[in-house]
């Protein structure tokens, strides 16, 4: 059986993963739970008008290209600016 990661279009590199995400993520999630981050975010947004940005798949109509990265970046800027 083929490994799932072999089916993804990921860059091939000899560089080690320095972020150590598999170990750090559970710690980060636990910390967010301890400080009740979700509740704080909900309180911060209370009373603000709801903002929704509908975003479809990035490359449904052809091969992925740099324009998709620009599009995603611009949408991210709009969402973060509107929700801050």
Tens-place pLDDT, residues 32-82: 999 999 999 889 888 888 888 888 776 677 788 888 889 889 999 998 888
3-state secondary structure of 77: helix
Nearest to 53 by CA among 81, 28, 16, 34: 81
Q: Evaluate whether residue 74 is within a structural domain.
A: yes
Check residue 70 and report its DSSP letter: H
How far is the C-alpha of 24 from the C-alpha of 39, rounded, in Å? 22
3-state secondary structure of 24: helix
Average pLDDT over residues 14-25: 83
Number of domains in the chain: 1
Q: Evaluate whether residue 1 is within a structural domain.
A: no
3-state secondary structure of 12: coil
| pLDDT range class, residue 11, cuts 50, 70, 90 | confident
Which residues are within 8 A (CB) of 65 and not within 5 positions of it... i.e. 6 or more apart? Answer: 59
Question: Residue 55 is part of which domain span?
Answer: 13-82
Q: Evaluate whether residue 44 is within a structural domain.
A: yes
């Amino acid at each position: 059986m083929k490994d799932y990661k072999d089916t993804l279009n990921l860059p091939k590199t000899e560089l080690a993963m320095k972020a150590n995400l598999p170990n750090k993520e559970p710690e980060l999630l636990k910390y967010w739970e301890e400080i009740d981050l979700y509740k704080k975010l909900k309180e911060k947004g209370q009373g603000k008008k709801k903002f929704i940005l509908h975003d479809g798949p990035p490359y449904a109509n052809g091969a992925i290209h740099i324009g998709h990265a620009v599009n995603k970046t611009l949408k991210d800027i709009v969402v973060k600016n509107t929700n801050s």
